[in-house]
Structure 1
Amino acid sequence: MDQPPLHELGSAVEEAFQKLLEIEQSDEWLKAQDVTSEAERFQLWGQNLGLFQEGHTSLDYRVRDAVIVRDRFAELLRELAEHITELFSILSGERKPAEQADVPIEDDSTSSGSSSQSSVQTTLSGEAHSFHETEFRFQSLTERLDALYSLATRIRNPKNRPSRTNDHLYKHIPEQDRSAYILNREEMEINSVSYILRQHMVEASNREEIETSHGVAFEDIVSQYTSPNRWIVRRTGKANARRKQQLLYWKDHALRLSRVKTKPVKSEGPIPVEQNILPNQHSTPSILDKAQATVPSLATSASKLPSLKPDDLRSVISHQSRVSTVISVQNDDLNWPLPPVRHGNNRYFECPYCRTLCPVKYLGKGAWE
């Protein structure tokens, strides 16, 4: 029997969360804010991995050849939906919790991603017991989300990202002008590094002491080590230019992901020819009208592709333009950016710069740098 697509299982989880959030929760073992936080965690996880997308950016496409990983995702999503549904049935009054009905509940914790690897059966008998099904269901829900995030950190590991070529990073520049543009950007960064290094040496060095110890004029030493032709300065400038363009790509890609609807759009047939109405000949067409009439739309990373199914074994190349990075020679801030602020007790956070899911231990100063 074929497994359902992951985006269908994700939609089921999302709908279950929506139903759970809509009811009035009056349980002493569960707070409404906790449910909201877990729902937001699921939304962040799904958006980051492309759970609700189609085409080569979707999670289904990423794991199409990794059967074990795909089955693990499907298993966790099904169990997550099951625990949310059971929570809804208890909080909505459809049934009583297990501790009030005195029925046994079996928890298969082998699929929860926790350290326990044995099935635990809790028999609810007697008047005094410490088991509460609402608390148990919510804890199981959290464990499934933790397991999903654990898998996401492995998929989103920067070590697994292929290095993009300069032609890919600067594909928004016409091919005939690309080489000259890249060289110009690199020279700007090289001059910026040279300027900042020179300012640092002038401000932090003792002119008389250096001239006495080396027997050379201070300006000659500064010029030697901060020259734009020095290999370390050129190498640093080229690396900075490439890194800035890479960060811009990640930022732009994350912006496109945030604009994607949470549910995939159903496939629609091609637009009939007779519906393509030309602009009124009596009115002056705008530049946008001319562009729409002459240039076909191109596929982007966040586009909906009606003719492409998530399980297709072919990919789509993005042709969307990227905006260049603006730099300034006066930018002398070479410090590491501050780590993001941790919210709540979440075990993972999304890096605001490379959009990678990272464990909270990376928020430490040493690990962050």
Structure 2
Amino acid sequence: MVQPTADNHRSGDDLNSEEQRARFLIWSANIGIFAGGHASLDYRLRDSWEAKKLMLDLLGSLKSYLRRGQHRSTPSNTDDSLSISVDQDRSPFEQRLHGIEQTIDRLYRLSVAIRRPSIISQNAKAANFTIKDEDGNDVGEQFKDFALTWITHQFPEAPPVLRERLAKSVTLRRKRFLFRQSHQKKLGMKLFLTPPPRPARSASPGLDAESTVMARTVVENPVPDTHKKHNNLLKPRLLSQTSASKVSGKFRTEDIFEPTPSRAPTVFSGAFTQQGSISIPDPPKPAVGSKEFECPYCCMILPIKEAVRSHWTRHVLNDLEPYVCLFEDCNDAHRLFRDRAAWLSHMQETHTKQWTCTAAGHKPCVFETEQDFEHHMRVDHAASFKESQLPWYKKRSQGPAASTFSACPLCGYEPA
């Protein structure tokens, strides 16, 4: 990246160039630039010519800015690569540094678009992930038993099948988080974080290159090992192979060129956010000036707006998929739902279907099964419709019950 000057007093350009270098290194590790085999970015982009071309164009633009940025005062007529905006009030070097920043902004947005579909495939793989202790022993069943004990204490009146289902869902969420962390480590394990040439230490306190850059760009307590200080090296680990997911066919190029969101206005503190009776961990603490941060749960790079409490709560709940069907005989018992609407829709449309006949000649009749409704129509209304019309009548008469449950399936509470 653009190297800082060796002056005793660090300029704003020096600090900004170091910040962009740190952002680029974090981006490289998160997307798996230096990963090999099926974990590589080449493998991930193998079937998406559009995403691959855009990635190469952005990296080529960044390379061009870096080459020109080595000469601080030489003007250039090509600083508008990929429609990067140019401010004529800036010096040529400042314009190139601004171009570098905007290009890295777009690389971040591109990585989000590329990696977003991988969450679905990761969830499928995570079901077979092994939870191990520090000695490498499989403790998955012990974790599930612990979850079952806690759930039994919380809901002693719940049917055993529901308690078992909830315990398995807790274990599955744990596996997902651990799998994503392991996957992210494999993507970034080959990245060498070599330090830039260190200029003479500033006479002014608080202007050290490392402390300034890392304080402005790095998420506190990140999950992957890619956010350590510049003089650290990601040491190889004995990790199994990972496979990067393909890019979604719904990839939208225009999303990459949206205006960059504003920087972080504040630093969050505290341990938990209350969402009703649910405790939501607070977001990581992006320092003032950060543009993005890494989620410790899905390991995705998120725009800074996602650190706002309302956005963060929604994001965490989406990561958790906190809902599971509460009908004992569900054929999709271990499916997790991201939000209440999808959860209720599943239970109502799958488990509380009913058919209502409002034909003249009798009071409205409600039937719990499709077969009972068909029998009623053929026996009591045979003269009023043709057999070919029965599917239409069934569809028109079908709907969810007024109440999903007459009593809470977990505690037995019956509303008055």
Q: Greater relative contact order: 1 or 2 (C-alpha under 8 angstroms, separation 6 or more)?
A: 1
Helix, strand or coil: the match of 1:345? Answer: coil
Structure 1 residue 71 and structure 2 residue 53: aligned?
yes
Q: Distance in 1 between matches of 2:311 and 2:174?
A: 21
Q: Which residue of 2 aligns with 1:261?
A: 191
Contact 1:52 1:262 in 2 (8 A): no
Q: Which residue of 1 aligns with 2:310?
A: 366
> What are the Cα deviations for residues 154-198 of structure 1, in whole angstroms up to 9, with x where unaligned?
12226753132566313989xxx99xx766643431222232x26
Contact 1:247 1:354 in 2 (8 A): yes
Helix, strand or coil: the match of 2:293? Answer: strand
- Quick one: which of 138, 158, 170 aligns to 2:130? 170
Structure 1 stretches of 4+ with a deviation exceeding 6 A read 25-29
Gap change, CA 1:334 and 1:145, over 3 Å in 2: same
- Quick one: which of 90, 93, 100 aligns to 1:141? 100
- Quick one: which of 158, 175, 183 aligns to 1:245? 175
Q: Which residue of 1 aligns with 2:89?
A: 130
Q: Which residue of 2 aligns with 1:300?
A: 240
Q: Which residue of 2 aligns with 1:324?
A: none
User: Residue 46 of structure 1 aligns to which amino acid in structure 2?
Assistant: S
How many residues are matched? Answer: 233
Contact 2:35 2:189 in 1 (8 A): no
Structure 1 residue 97 and structure 2 residue 74: aligned?
yes
- Quick one: which of 356, 360, 364 aligns to 2:300? 356
- Unmatched 5+ residue regions in structure 2? 194-237, 244-276, 314-416
Q: Which residue of 1 aligns with 2:364?
A: none
User: Residue 300 of structure 1 aligns to which amino acid in structure 2?
Assistant: S
Contact 2:147 2:171 in 1 (8 A): yes
Q: 1:27: Cα distance to partner?
A: 11
- What is the 5 A alignment of 1:12-91? 17=1, 20-21=2-3, 23-24=5-6, 30-90=12-72
> What are the Cα deviations for residues 52-100 of structure 1, in whole angstroms up to 9, with x where unaligned?
122111111111221111111111111101111111122xxxxx432xx
> What are the Cα deviations for residues 281-321 of structure 1, in whole angstroms up to 9, with x where unaligned?
xxxxxxxxxxxxxxxxx983379xxxxxxxxxxxxxxxxxx
Q: 1:346: Cα distance to partner?
A: 2.7
Helix, strand or coil: the match of 1:169? Answer: coil
Q: Which residue of 2 aligns with 1:326?
A: none
Structure 1 residue 345 and structure 2 residue 289: aligned?
yes
Contact 2:79 2:96 in 1 (8 A): no
Q: Distance in 2 between matches of 1:88 and 1:26?
A: 19
Contact 1:186 1:237 in 2 (8 A): yes
Q: Distance in 2 between matches of 1:106 and 1:260?
A: 34
Q: 1:145: Cα distance to partner?
A: 0.4
Q: Which residue of 2 aligns with 1:229?
A: 160
TM-score (norm 1): 0.54
Helix, strand or coil: the match of 1:336? Answer: strand
Gap change, CA 1:256 and 1:69, over 3 Å in 2: closer
- Quick one: which of 156, 160, 164 aligns to 2:115? 156
User: Residue 186 of structure 1 aligns to which amino acid in structure 2?
Assistant: K
- Unmatched 5+ residue regions in structure 1? 1-16, 91-95, 99-103, 123-128, 199-222, 264-297, 304-332
Q: 1:36: Cα distance to partner?
A: 0.8
Helix, strand or coil: the match of 1:89? Answer: coil
Q: Distance in 1 between matches of 2:278 and 2:171?
A: 14
Q: 1:236: Cα distance to partner?
A: 2.5
Identity score, percent: 23
Contact 2:79 2:95 in 1 (8 A): no
Q: Distance in 1 between matches of 2:43 and 2:112?
A: 17
**How well do the aligned residues superpose, as a CA RMSD in angstroms?**
3.7
User: Residue 229 of structure 1 aligns to which amino acid in structure 2?
Assistant: P
User: Residue 181 of structure 2 aligns to which amino acid in structure 1?
Assistant: K
Q: Distance in 2 between matches of 1:159 and 1:56?
A: 13
Structure 1 residue 186 and structure 2 residue 144: aligned?
yes
Q: Which residue of 2 aligns with 1:310?
A: none
Q: Distance in 2 between matches of 1:228 and 1:45?
A: 47
Greater helix fraction, Structure 1 or Structure 2: 1
Gap change, CA 1:132 and 1:170, over 3 Å in 2: same
Q: 1:257: Cα distance to partner?
A: 4.2
